[in-house]
Amino acid sequence: MFKNLLRNLNQKKVKVFSLFLLCSFLAWFLSNLSEPYESRCDVKLNYTNLPDTLLLGKNAVTSMEAKLRTSGFRFLFYNLFAKRLDIDVSQARYENGKYLIDDALLKKQIDGQLSQSISLLDLDRKQLVLDLYQVASKEIPIAPNLDLRLQQNFILDGPLGIEPSHVMAKGPLSEIDTLRQIMTAVIELKDIAVDFNREAPLVFPKGLNNTIFSLERVKISGKVVRFSEEIYTLSIAVINQPEGYSVKTFPNSVSVLCKAKLDRLKEISESDFEVVADYGRLDGSGKGTLYLELKKSPKNVYDVRLLENTVNFVLEQQ
């Protein structure tokens, strides 16, 4: 019993001692935090008021070391909850090809954003060199990278829709001057028989480190319609015949394939076409063939093509 009592008393003494030790430490710590200190810390920078003609480069200084004087409490609070301090770029001066903010102006801008209980003593540099460059702008067309596979007897009706159709690039002239178009990522559409509308990201060329673009995605759309085919048998007209001779072609007619909507095909007749064989294009090789050319074809159709490109001929003296 006596040993147990002694053990309990010792444990109580240890707890009491630990409590007093903790309180003493806290009192000492709080007392020291209330004292003024001079110390260095990192200041995070945020650039504001950039002129429209300038852009901030990728190598811009984002922080600098500052020597501050304030209480320990303030130092603790500042390190835990420090906000970025604004640097007004419009106050920079241009000198020897560089944009600079000198020591006095830099201190004034930073000191004006610190609380009254914090004094700025010094900075780790005498001037801030800004990574700024003259900006050029260029409107660049967007080209869709479309892998489109339509169902049989379906066709794309008209050009693809691209919304928006251009992207604005801003950056150094040396970077954007060579840009001719911006491609989209690959859009795969298979077995399509209806109108489509897809969103696609843009793929920007590598190496444009200081160029920014006005958008990153576009919408690609297309109208898909069903078509029919019709084959027309047309007479061949020979032009530029030699004087005193008549050119006879074998055969004297040719087939033309036309693709269009069914209601449009019903409106088309053979008179909407004209196929000619130009004797003046004879190459002198001795071959008795003439090249055929489709001189006239109907409008608002998807495809018209000759099924034969040449025809045999003989000359008959008149």
For 130-179, write each residue's pLDDT tens digit.
Answer: 888 888 889 999 999 999 999 998 988 889 999 999 999 988 888 898 89
> What is the rounded distance in angstroms from the CA atom of residue 239 to the CA atom of residue 233?
19
Which SS3 state, helix, strand or coil, does residue 261 take?
coil
Distance between CA 214 and CA 209 in Å, rounded? Answer: 15
Name which CATH class applies to 135-226.
mainly beta
Report the top-level CATH class of 228-317.
mainly beta
CATH number of 29-133: 2.170.120
Amino acid residing at 17 = F
3-class DSSP assignment, residue 86: strand
Q: Where in the chain is the domain with CATH 2.170.120.40?
A: 135-226
How many residues make up the chain in this entry? Answer: 318
Give the residue ranges of the chain where pLDDT is below 50. Answer: 2, 5-6, 9, 17, 21, 25-33
Read off the DSSP letter of residue 241.
P
Which helix H or strand E contains 10, and what residues bound it? helix 2-33
Distance CA 22, CA 217 (A): 60
Beta-carbon neighbour count of residue 92 at 10 Å? Answer: 24
Q: Supply the pTM of this predicted model.
A: 0.55
